[in-house]
């Protein structure tokens, strides 16, 4: 009998509000190690809210339900503790940090998550290998974080962080947004590398990423709830038919 992989994330009947407005209305989701899950839905469906509340964004209030990370209730962990425990969020709109060089930022990120400073030579070797995977020139390291970066460069930096941090749970919020074909392939390569030994939750509007990153499950979200789950074929159906056929309020 096939051994069941470790449960990484379990969400039970999750209801979330922002400033008194209900956004998530009973989300249930379980992700195991080695699985890639995809959430698709209209703008405002609650996709990004789900990723943010899992990471502990203070603007989101859980009014009902529970989230468990590797069997532990997430409310017991502060945001920085979630990162140290192996959770990673790729932002839809990465922040610009003028005056902070990429190389310095990456080393401090790794130090914070690993709770110790990486050894100089070993870290340089690790960083070089990760940058080569993403076809990134070393000159990238001397630039300021996301300052003047193209959309593709911002997303590559996010994936580079992910490769270095080696998360147990990767939450990727529209990582494919605004990427040209070459950048999309490079980003997908990084996602596939991490997904081998991690749980991944990808939020996207488009099928094109899923030609390169093969999901185990695709979930359709409407009005704050997952209304249908399937395999990769569901993403094709959603791209072809939209969401009206699933929306009981339409």
Which structural domain range is residue 11 located in? Answer: 7-241
Residue 113 inside a domain? The answer is yes
pLDDT grade for 228, boundaries at 50, 70 and 90:
very high
CA–CA separation, 68 vs 88, rounded Å?
Answer: 15
Residue 75, in any domain of the structure: yes
Strand partners, 88: 170
Q: Does 247 reside within a domain?
A: no
Q: How confident is the model at residue 250 (pLDDT cuts 50, 70, 90)?
A: very low
Token pair recorded at residue 131: 């940058």
Say which CATH number the domain at 96 has.
3.40.50.300
- pLDDT the model gives residue 114: 81
148-187 pLDDT per residue, tens: 998 888 888 999 999 999 999 999 998 888 788 888 998 8
Q: Is 122 within the bounds of a domain?
A: yes
Q: Which are the contacts of 73, defined by CB distance < 8 A and separation ≥ 6? A: 66, 67
Q: Is the pLDDT of residue 241 over 70?
A: yes
Q: Give yes or no for residue 249 having a pLDDT over 60.
A: no
Which pair of structure tokens corresponds to residue 98? 């003028």
Provide the CB-side half-sphere exposure for 173 (13 A, CA).
18
pTM: 0.91
Task: Please state the domain count of the chain.
Answer: 1
Mean pLDDT across the chain, nearest whole number? 91
Does residue 46 lie within any of the structural domains? yes
Distance of CA 175 to the CA centre of its chain: 8
For 72-96, write each residue's pLDDT tens digit: 999 889 998 999 999 999 887 788 9
Reported as a single tens digit per residue, the pLDDT across 47-75 is: 999 999 999 999 999 999 999 999 999 98
Q: Is residue 250 part of a domain?
A: no
Concatenate the DSSP letters of all residues of 111-160 into one string.
Answer: HHHHTSPPPHHHHHHHHHHHHHHTT--GGGGGSEETTT--HHHHHHHHHH
In terms of DSSP H, where are the helices of the chain?
Answer: 47-55, 79-84, 102-114, 120-133, 151-165, 181-195, 232-241
Question: What is the tens place of the pLDDT at every residue in 126-152?
Answer: 999 999 988 899 999 999 999 999 888
Domain presence at residue 115: yes
Classify residue 173: in a domain, yes or no: yes
Question: Alpha-carbon distance 53 to 40, whole Å?
Answer: 17
Half-sphere exposure of 78 (CA within 13 A, CB side): 2
Query: To which residue do tokens 């709109």 refer?
Result: 93
């Amino acid at each position: 009998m096939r051994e069941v992989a470790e449960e990484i994330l379990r969400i039970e009947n999750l209801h979330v509000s922002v400033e008194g407005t209900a956004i998530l209305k009973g989300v249930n989701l379980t992700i195991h190690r080695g699985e890639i899950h995809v959430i698709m839905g209209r703008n405002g469906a609650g996709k990004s809210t789900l990723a943010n509340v899992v990471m502990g964004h203070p603007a989101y209030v859980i009014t009902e339900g529970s989230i468990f990370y590797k069997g532990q209730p997430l409310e017991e962990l502060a945001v920085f503790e979630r990162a140290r425990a192996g959770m990673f969020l790729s932002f839809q709109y990465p922040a610009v940090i003028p005056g902070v060089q990429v190389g310095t930022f990456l080393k401090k990120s790794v130090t914070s998550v690993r709770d110790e400073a990486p050894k100089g030579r070993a870290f340089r070797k690790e960083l070089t290998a990760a940058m080569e995977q993403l076809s990134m020139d070393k000159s990238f390291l001397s630039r300021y974080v996301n300052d003047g970066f193209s959309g593709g460069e911002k997303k590559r930096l996010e994936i580079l962080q992910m490769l270095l941090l080696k998360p147990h749970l990767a939450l990727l919020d529209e990582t494919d947004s605004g990427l040209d074909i070459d950048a999309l392939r490079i980003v997908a390569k990084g996602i596939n590398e991490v997904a081998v030994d991690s749980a991944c939750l990808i939020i996207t509007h488009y099928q094109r990423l899923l030609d390169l990153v093969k999901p185990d499950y695709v979930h359709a979200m409407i009005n704050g709830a997952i209304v249908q789950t399937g395999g990769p074929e569901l993403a094709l159906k959603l791209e072809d038919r939209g969401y009206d056929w699933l929306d009981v309020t339409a």
